[in-house]
Amino acid sequence: MPVGLDPAVELNAYRVVQEAVSNAVRHAPKAVVQVAVRVIGAELRLTVVNGPARAEVPTAPGSGHGMIGMRERMALVDGTFHAGSTADGGYLVEAAIPLSEEAGR
């Protein structure tokens, strides 16, 4: 993670990545998961993508609040959020958080 960012940006970015990875582990057992955290221009961009499950997916009751929580976290920092299935049966989570001129520099 880039250093020197606003603590609210750091915390919300961390929590979105944490939730996306947890969802991948829960819903796509043994899938390959890739995480990227980058500063591009004036944004902190987060990408978590997993392939399809490579083991039987257990039925796990869930509240379904993970996606809602990630969207809310991005709204708190004026960020954007997108999540959805990939063509190969995996899942992609992308988020972007605007940074101030001096953030991360």
CATH number belonging to domain 7-55+62-98: 3.30.565.10
Domain boundaries, the chain: 7-55+62-98
Confidence of residue 105 (pLDDT cuts 50, 70, 90): very low
- pTM of structure: 0.87
Q: Convert the pLDDT of each residue in 69-82 to its tens digit.
A: 999 999 999 999 99
3-state class percentages of the chain: helix first, strand second, coil last, to nearest 5: 30, 30, 40
- Kindly report the average pLDDT of the chain as a whole number: 90
pLDDT at 60: 65
